[in-house]
Amino acid sequence: MASIDSSPTNSGSDQAVWNEAYERVRNFLETFALGDHTQAPRLALKLVDRAREIHRDDPSKHPTTLAMEQAHHLMAEWLAANLETSERPTSQTFASGYIALLLGQSLRITPDSFLVTPLAPPLRQALRESLLVTGPDLEISSMSPRSFDYGPMLNLARQTWHKWDARAIVVAIAFWIGVYFIFYWWLSDLL
Amino acid sequence: MSTPSPEPSGALRRTLFLSGSILLTGAGMGLLLRTYVGQQIYWPDYIVIGLFPLLFSQIAVGVMLALFGFFDGLRGGDPLHVMRRSWRNKEEEVPLAATAIVIPVFNEEVERVRMGIENMWRSLEKTGQIEHFDFYLCSDSNDADHWIEEECAWLNLCQKLKAFGKIFYRKRRHAINSKSGNVADFCRRWGKRYRYMIVLDADSVMSGPTMVRLVRAMEANPAVGILQTQPVQVLGQSLFRRLLQFSGSAYGKIFTQGCSFTQTSSSSYWGHNAIIRIAPFIEHCDLPMLPVPDARGRHVLSHDTVEAALMRRAGYEVWVAYDESGSWEEGPPNMSDMLKRDRRWCAGNLQHFWFLFGRGIELGNRLQIWIGLMAYLCSPIWLAFLIAGSFTSYSRARFLLYSAGPEDIEDAAHHQETLLLFVLTVVLLFLPRVLSLLSQLPDARHFGGVFRLLLSTLLETVLSILMAPVLMLFHTLFVIQVILGWQIKWTTQNRSDSGLAFSHCVILYGWQTLLGIAGQSLAWTYLGSSSYWLMPIFIGWILAPITAWVTASKRLGEILRSWGLLIIPAEAEPPPELAGLADAASPSPEIPPLWSQALLCPYVHAIHLSMVRQRHSGGEDKKPAQSLAKLREKLVLEGPDALKPKEKLRLLWDAETVFWLHRELWSRPGDKLHPQWERLQAESGKSPLLRHYLLIETSD
């Protein structure tokens, strides 16, 4: 594990929390799949150093939170500058920016350009051109079922459902048993 | 473009079909009644006499379809068929129209679906007509891992094939009305953009030339509303799937050809591997609610047959292009998975009863509905027939033992009619197979040669005889379930040939073994030698767990394949559209779950945010609902496994929440996070979604 500070003034617990902050930022930057594996640790060290400076003035925030805030802040600025979005960065800015990075493959080809301002014009152009088409415009149609005449079965079923009671079932069963026995005796003699 | 031919009525064919079926059933019934002459009639005899025509008519229907199919094959195809009309002479001149290829998915194997789309795209590209086609992956997946993986697979396709603006992904928030609702949702949103849609299943694949020809067929024949291809089952590795795909390839065509010959322009639609004219589909084919008191049972489960009937009712022709190659699908890998599918199909087919007597339905469609109904109703009828038949035998045996004189025994033992009826039944049962084999003989080399074709048929027949009684009992249970009003849900079809555990087979099929042993003991005790005719049934039941276990084996399927048995033409000459599909497997994460990558990995997170539209205009600072806020905290503090499936979906649907969680999970100190998050963070850079789908090399 890389230690980011060997200053003798730091206590052991301080070192642990700053190491945690470094590790977090490095893990975060590694998710961008930079072409150069040393780039993420280098950037992480810079961001943690910046966080340490802020932490000296305002120690209320945890180093990890502070370092990641710096990472997000830098990322937002960098994306806004390169995507030319004047508004305050939103989730959609990040989404568009990340997708542009993925589709443009610039971080794999030129990992050194990551979070570097200003970006070289061809790279900036490539970033802006990588747009994501998620779906065509809607052209709404109305699709609803037409009336359907189920014919005689529906009438029969409705009569049964609406007049369904135990007495009717008993009568029906008794009736058919009777019919069955009549047929049985009659056919037994005949056949 | 040729002018549409006058619609063939097919009245003579249907008359011949119906009269032939009635004649055969009448012959069987006549022989049965003659066996009763001079005999004592017992009460179970009336059940036997009552059920016999229903069962025998099904055999007769099968024989008539096979005969018609065989005849149609001998004369080189149906001249009335839409695919044999004059437009075929100038096929290349028929212009194409905008066509959407719609693929509804529901928790399917994502990589398999992705690869199928890639193969179809490449096949279409080779035709030079790709600009007329767009793909829509319409997801109803309710599993968070599948959802996120589908999004990444979609981006992979767009990136790899340079298909942005040509391949689209749509996830429904509420999966109303299952697959038919999914397709209807596509029609409502984007139907107007296209003249046709080719509907596929998640495991379907079609070749580019076939899809182009289907569009041309529709363009040249404006009266055709649905044109269904006959998908061939392929990619089977387990013995069970190889049996299914062999029987489909060897005997399937003759039946489909027979159906098409009989039904002509009122043919079937099987819900996938078919092209549909969208405008009339939108106008006429939305499914009506069933008139049942229970609101949960009003949705039509098996939509395809009803949609075909509605399309036909609206005046459009529905045809089966039985002779078109380049249309494939996959079957269930084992008996248990087939039963799961059958349970759903049974409920759907029985619902069709309502449409049997509906006004405006064509006779051809009514026939289709009837055949579909009887496919499942035959099982309880067969079971009742067997039980009644056994009681009859028992009564007769008692009579002969205690009351009969020598002349009665003579009469009973030498009943010519009984033998004749038995022979007739066996001949009719096996005639379709014989006809199918005869029709396949010229093509035998694609089945491994004549000898292997015959041997494979023999093997398939023996195993079918063993499985038939098992299926009969399960289908009977399914019918009872439906009648009792038990709900049948739409489930994902398993397509992996991973085999079945023997313990599973014992638990699921063991009761049939007990039933078989008990039944055989009773039959031997009370029926004596008359029980021999029940032996195939009892053997099927007794061996049910072993049959299910053995047929699920991938190894056995491979061994038989290496011997050249159960080979199908698609294996003898594999089409490029199926390349790599058998081995296509989704990436498995070292540390699950996959869906957490939408919260951690910036790329996966960004794809997801782009797909989920912002529902509120309040911006990211707007406070979430209290329940949502609680869920967020629960996820952060208790880890991804603490949430229920529905809770995961709820979080993922909310773009603001997803963004908030992304920031929060990376920014919170370790002691305020569940330990699993730190492990997932460390793995995010090597996420299988990244490596498998997103970090691909593209060349400009």
Is B625's Cβ below 8 Å from some Cβ in A? no
**Would you call B606 and A157 a contact, using CB atoms and an 8 Å cutoff?**
no
**pLDDT value, residue A86:** 59
Q: What pTM was estimated for this model as a whole?
A: 0.89
Q: How far is CA B204 from the centre of its chain?
A: 10
pLDDT in tens, B409-444: 555 544 677 888 889 999 999 999 999 999 999 999
Chain B hits for A33, CB-CB cut-off 8 Å, are 603, 685, 690, 695
DSSP letter for each residue of B84-149 = GSGGGGGGGGSPP--EEEEEEESS--HHHHHHHHHHHHHHHHHHT-GGGEEEEEEE----HHHHHH
Q: Is the pLDDT of residue A7 over 50?
A: no
A163 and A123 inside one domain: no
Domains: count for chain A: 2
Q: How far is CA A165 from the centre of its chain?
A: 53
Of A32, A138, A153, nearest to B602 by CB-CB distance is A32
Three-class SS state of B359: coil
Percentage of chain A beyond pLDDT 90 is 24
A25 and A116 inside one domain: yes
- As a whole number, mean pLDDT of residues B10-21 equals 89
Query: Is residue B207, in this structure, part of any structural domain at all?
Result: no
Confidence band of B376 (pLDDT split at 50, 70, 90): very high
- As a whole number, mean pLDDT of residues B255-266 equals 93
Query: Is residue B650, in this structure, part of any structural domain at all?
Result: yes
Chain A hits for B602, CB-CB cut-off 8 Å, are 31-32, 94, 98
Query: Is residue A105, in this structure, part of any structural domain at all?
Result: yes
Query: Rounded distance, CA B344 to CA B342, Å?
Result: 5
Query: Rounded distance, CA B535 to CA B543, Å?
Result: 12
A45 and A125 inside one domain: yes
Question: Locate tokens 């900036």: which residue?
Answer: A124
CB B272 within 8 A of CB B200: yes
**pLDDT value, residue B404:** 56
Of B286, B356, B695, nearest to A33 by CB-CB distance is B695
Domains: count for chain B: 1
CB B362 within 8 A of CB B313: yes
Query: Is residue B444, in this structure, part of any structural domain at all?
Result: no
**pLDDT value, residue B493:** 60
DSSP class of residue B213 equals H
Strands B232-233 and B196-199: unpaired
**pLDDT value, residue B2:** 39
Q: Is the pLDDT of residue A43 over 60?
A: yes
Question: Structural domain of residue A96, as residue ranges?
Answer: 12-129
Per-chain mean pLDDT for chain B: 90
Q: Which range (B171-185, B283-297, B396-410, B626-640) has the least confidence?
A: B396-410
Query: Is residue A140, in this structure, part of any structural domain at all?
Result: no
Cα–Cα distances in angstroms (integers) from residue B92 to residues B89, B135, B219, in the given order: 9, 23, 12
Q: Is the pLDDT of residue B220 over 60?
A: yes
Query: Is residue A7, in this structure, part of any structural domain at all?
Result: no
Interface mutation target, options A141, A158, A181, chain B, most CBs of B under 10 Å: A141
Beta bridge partners, B266, equal B318
Query: Is residue A177, in this structure, part of any structural domain at all?
Result: yes
Beta bridge partners, B199, equal B102, B274
Query: Is residue B624, in this structure, part of any structural domain at all?
Result: yes
Q: Is the pLDDT of residue A160 over 70?
A: no
Query: Is residue B341, in this structure, part of any structural domain at all?
Result: no
Q: B455 CA to chain A: closest CA distance, Å?
A: 47
Cα–Cα distances in angstroms (integers) from residue B614 to residues A136, B184, B620, B652, B671, in the given order: 17, 24, 10, 12, 32
DSSP class of residue B266 equals B
**Could you tell me which chain B residue has the CA closest to the CA of A73?**
B663
Where among A88, A113, A129 does a domain terminate?
A129
A173 and A118 inside one domain: no
Per-chain mean pLDDT for chain A: 79
Strands B327-329 and B232-233: parallel
Of A68, A134, A191, nearest to B611 by CB-CB distance is A134
**pLDDT value, residue B415:** 65
Of A99, A146, A149, nearest to B610 by CB-CB distance is A99
Chain A hits for B165, CB-CB cut-off 8 Å, are 133, 136
**pLDDT value, residue B494:** 62
Higher pLDDT, B37 or A10: B37
Query: Is residue B485, in this structure, part of any structural domain at all?
Result: no
CB B693 within 8 A of CB B152: yes
Confidence band of A3 (pLDDT split at 50, 70, 90): very low
- As a whole number, mean pLDDT of residues A99-116 equals 82
- As a whole number, mean pLDDT of residues B331-349 equals 93
Nearest C-alpha neighbor of B565 from the set B234, B239, B231: B239
Query: Is residue B136, in this structure, part of any structural domain at all?
Result: no
Percentage of chain B beyond pLDDT 90 is 74
pLDDT in tens, B615-625: 544 555 566 78
Query: Is residue B476, in this structure, part of any structural domain at all?
Result: no
**Could you tell me which chain A residue has the CA closest to the CA of B168?**
A135
Q: Which range (A117-126, B183-192, B604-613, B667-676) has the least confidence?
A: A117-126
**pLDDT value, residue A191:** 56
DSSP class of residue B614 equals -
Query: Rounded distance, CA B169 to CA B478, Å?
Result: 35
CB B169 within 8 A of CB A134: yes
Percentage of chain B beyond pLDDT 70 is 92
Q: Is the pLDDT of residue B700 over 60?
A: no
Q: Is the pLDDT of residue B67 over 60?
A: yes
CB B84 within 8 A of CB B218: no
**pLDDT value, residue A116:** 80
Q: A187 CA to chain B: closest CA distance, Å?
A: 8
Helices marked H in B484-601: 502-527, 535-542, 544-551, 554-562, 569-572, 597-600
Q: Is the pLDDT of residue B8 over 60?
A: no
Question: Locate tokens 């009460």: which residue?
Answer: B43
Query: Is residue A6, in this structure, part of any structural domain at all?
Result: no
Interface mutation target, options A55, A129, A148, chain B, most CBs of B under 10 Å: A148
Of B170, B192, B355, nearest to A135 by CB-CB distance is B170
Q: Which range (A126-140, B20-34, B260-274, B453-467) has the least confidence?
A: A126-140
Confidence band of A179 (pLDDT split at 50, 70, 90): confident
Higher pLDDT, B128 or B39: B128
Of B168, B600, B610, nearest to A95 by CB-CB distance is B610
Q: Is the pLDDT of residue B406 over 60?
A: no
Query: Rounded distance, CA B224 to CA B81, Å?
Result: 11
A125 and A68 inside one domain: yes
Q: Is the pLDDT of residue B7 over 60?
A: no
Which strands sit side by side in the sheet containing B327-329, from one edge to the other? Answer: B205-206, B327-329, B232-233
Chain A hits for B188, CB-CB cut-off 8 Å, are 140-143
A123 and A37 inside one domain: yes
Q: What's the length of chain A? A: 191
**pLDDT value, residue B492:** 56
**pLDDT value, residue B409:** 53
**pLDDT value, residue A166:** 74
Where among A108, A129, A150 does a domain terminate?
A129
Query: Is residue A27, in this structure, part of any structural domain at all?
Result: yes
**pLDDT value, residue B405:** 57
Query: Is residue A75, in this structure, part of any structural domain at all?
Result: yes
